[in-house]
Amino acid sequence: MTKDSTQNAKDLYHLLSPEAKSRQNSPLKDAFKYFKLPNMTFLGGGLPLSDYFPFDRVSADIPTPSFPNGIGAPLTNESKTTIEVFKKADKNQPNEIELARSLQYGYTEGQPELTAFLKEHTEMIHKIPYKDWDLVASVGNTESWDSTLRTFCTRGDSILVEEYSFSSALETANGQGINTVPVPMDDYGIIPSGLDSLLAHWVGNKPKLLYTISTGQNPTGSSLSAERRRQIYEIACKYDLIIVEDEPYYFLQMETYTKDKKAREGKTVHEHKEFIEALVPSFISLDTEGRVIRLDSFSKVLAPGLRLGWIVGQAKLLERFVRLHEVSIQCPSGLTQSMTNALLQSWGQKGYLDWLIGLRAEYTHKRDVAIDALEEYCPKEVTSYVPPVAGMFFTVNIDASKHPKFHELGEDPLKIENLIYEQSIKQGTLMIPGSWFKSQGQSTPPQKNLPQNPAAKTHIFFRGTYAAVPLDQLVFGLQKFSKAVKIEFGLE
């Protein structure tokens, strides 16, 4: 694998679904080529006049880089900037997306100023090693994933997913009649040899894609190392797979956990270059062939309710997503595009990196508080955990075989999981049982001989998050959860 960004991607059109291959351009597009001709009166398009759009000027207060008091600090007159977008663009504001345009039909790919900013950002972070990549706006990764499945798969197909995965992403596939076959994973994510072995023993139509939440995985909190990513990419090339990297948590990467609170101080990333170099390489940064579809989003970085994401991949495949979006979502909200663009243009690439660095500091601190609490309260006899290096989630692994009723309950770890779940609710804390995220798909032959985490048969886990609650509550919650475990295992 040599990186050569002057080369084009490999032709992977054969991996498209019949649906994606069949999508037609609208014949009306042909007519629109006459739209801008001089002396042409265009009576072809059913566009409402922007005179009737009832929003004339939209403004917002946003924090000003470099966010010296943290990204969550309340705004003051000194720390805020007011951005404005007008119905007709203010000539003094370059790269403004005027409301007359963003609130009109058009630009399925996303408004050009916004996608240009995102392309520049993508180039800076991922340095994609081929030439003809592109970027298309979406209404968030859930929709991007739905569109990806419709672009590559058809009812009855199989895809590969992490053994434990985001239940909503699995349901997207299930609804479309797609079989989600689990790939073995351990505390550090997908086991490359397990993936290779699964594919080597595959019977029937090979899966077309591997879906992975590579960084800060939901639910396990695991992150694939650079080395595993390289191995998995090689396997994808070998078996002609698309890799779908669903990466909402990519910028929620943190410093590695240390118990030594003093040592934490010196570990904070400040400089842009240092920040970028500290990021684990994405699959698309390794993608010499153009077989990675990257799903990116502002949901965890700015706000989920913006419903603004983007898809990165080779242009020839992304063009099929555009045809799909034309007849489904059309494009993200114009208010979202105008305002998010105004925010990004106001911040600039550097201000946006400042924001991401601030986010890294916040999540590092939250994670530290969560792991400190686990260190303090969790009974080491039956629990273990790996401090996450990215994302919103941590897991507490529990050895169900040590539960006093394990034999009595037929050595079924799920029954122990349920006992702990109920006890923890009784104690007043709620974490999500890992089994709720188990992929139910099947491969033929059954993958019982695959390399597995040897503890998998008796180990259960619970997913918690440090993202959503104040830190004192987080500590209190974990104290209560630990108490529930101790009660269940007769340790209290």
Question: Residue from 3, 5, 13, 75 that binds a second copy (CB under 8 A)?
Answer: 75
441 binds a second copy (CB under 8 A): no
Per the DSSP assignment, residues forming a β-bridge with 309 are 138, 297
223 binds a second copy (CB under 8 A): no
User: Maximum distance among all alpha carbons in the chain?
Assistant: 86
Question: Residue from 96, 146, 289, 399 that binds a second copy (CB under 8 A)?
Answer: 146
266 binds a second copy (CB under 8 A): no
Shortest separation between residue 232's beta carbon and a second copy, angstroms: 24
What letter would DSSP give residue 206? P
What whole-number distance in Å separates Cα of residue 341 and Cα of residue 351? 13
Shortest separation between residue 34's beta carbon and a second copy, angstroms: 5
Q: Is the peptide bond before 66 cis (omega within 30 degrees of 0)?
A: yes
What whole-number distance in Å separates Cα of residue 284 and Cα of residue 294? 7
Secondary structure, 3-state, 315-342: HHHHHHHHHHHHCCCCCCCHHHHHHHHH
Measure the CA dihedral 411/413/418/423, to 10°. 80
Site for a second copy in 15-34 (CB under 8 A): 18-19, 22-24, 26-28, 31, 34
Q: Which is nearer to a second copy, 133 or 249 (CB)?
A: 249
467 binds a second copy (CB under 8 A): yes
103 binds a second copy (CB under 8 A): yes
Of 120-128, 332-340, 412-420, 449-457, the segment contacting a second copy by CB under 8 A is 332-340
Q: Which is nearer to a second copy, 93 or 104 (CB)?
A: 104
Shortest separation between residue 386's beta carbon and a second copy, angstroms: 17
Site for a second copy in 276-295 (CB under 8 A): none
319 binds a second copy (CB under 8 A): no
Question: Residue from 61, 120, 123, 422 that binds a second copy (CB under 8 A)?
Answer: 61
Classify residue 207 by burial, with Cβ atoms within 10 Å: 0-12, 13-18, 19+: buried
Residues 6 or more apart in contact with residue 214 via CB below 8 angstroms: 189, 223, 224, 229, 245, 246, 247, 280, 282, 283
442 binds a second copy (CB under 8 A): no
Q: Which is nearer to a second copy, 278 or 302 (CB)?
A: 302
Shortest separation between residue 246's beta carbon and a second copy, angstroms: 13
Site for a second copy in 162-191 (CB under 8 A): 167-169, 171-172, 174-177
Q: Which is nearer to a second copy, 111 or 282 (CB)?
A: 111
What whole-number distance in Å separates Cα of residue 62 and Cα of residue 189? 37
Beta strand pairing call for 185-186 and 309-314: unpaired
Check: CB of residue 7 under 8 Å from CB of residue 131.
Answer: yes
